[in-house]
Structure 1
Amino acid sequence: MAHKDTFRIVTRASDGNLQIRDFPNADPILHMHSQIGIDDCSTDLGLRGMPVFRGLVGPIPEGKNVVRYESPEVFESLTKEWGAEKKKRRTRLRTAAPTPAK
């Protein structure tokens, strides 16, 4: 289980670009947002016990040592973009079964 040592907050700036801020621990985030609980059900065991903040979506794993939190607007828009991406479909060519000779 990797130790998460970077806390990342992703929000949208007034010009529409993503604004990313990294912190070495959760303390600065606690000054900006109220902690409303801790994560106790993540499938990423490194996130269990991480704080859950009012007004942010997360914790979300990002790489081996980054815990990501997003504003609800960023979470919704990035999820829509991710879902709209066309997946490259692998098609398997099927060969016709040989027909018996008559």
Structure 2
Amino acid sequence: MAKKDTFRIVSRGSDGSLLIRDYPSCDPLVGIHCQIGIDDCSTDLDIRGMPVFRGLIGPMPEGKTIVRYETPEVFEALTKDWANAKPRRRTRRSSAAVAEARAAESAAAS
């Protein structure tokens, strides 16, 4: 398992853009935010034992070495975007189209 050694805070700027700050350890976060506990139920075993902060959603895994925390506004907006995203539909050729293509290939070959 990879060691999570980057702590990322994602918040919203005054102009509505996402602000992302990375920290090399959780020590600066403890000074900025109030730690209210530790994570003990994550399915990602590298995140278990990471701090939980008041006013932030997380910890969440992001990649192999990043632990992500989000403000509630960012979490809500990104979750809504993710839920509303339409999955891309794969188009499949019908069996008749496949048979026509094979017949055209065999006719061209002979």
Q: TM-score normalised to the size of structure 1? A: 0.87
Q: Within 2, Cα distance between the matches of 1:78 and 1:12?
A: 11
Q: In the alignment, which residue of structure 2 is the partner of 1:4? A: 4
- Whichever structure has more helix as a proportion of its residues is 2
User: CA shift at 1:90, angstroms?
Assistant: 4.6
Residue 65 (structure 1) aligned with residue 65 (structure 2): yes
The list of structure 1 runs, each at least 4 consecutive aligned residues, that deviate by more than 4 angstroms after superposition, is: 90-95
Q: In the alignment, which residue of structure 1 is the partner of 2:49? A: 49
How many residues were matched structurally? 95
- Structure 1's unaligned 5+ residue stretches are 96-102
Q: Within 1, Cα distance between the matches of 2:70 and 2:23?
A: 14
Q: In the alignment, which residue of structure 1 is the partner of 2:22? A: 22
Greater Rg over alpha carbons, structure: 2
User: CA shift at 1:2, angstroms?
Assistant: 1.2
Q: Which amino acid aligns with 2:83?
A: G
User: CA shift at 1:88, angstroms?
Assistant: 2.0
Q: TM-score normalised to the size of structure 2? A: 0.80
RMSD: 1.4
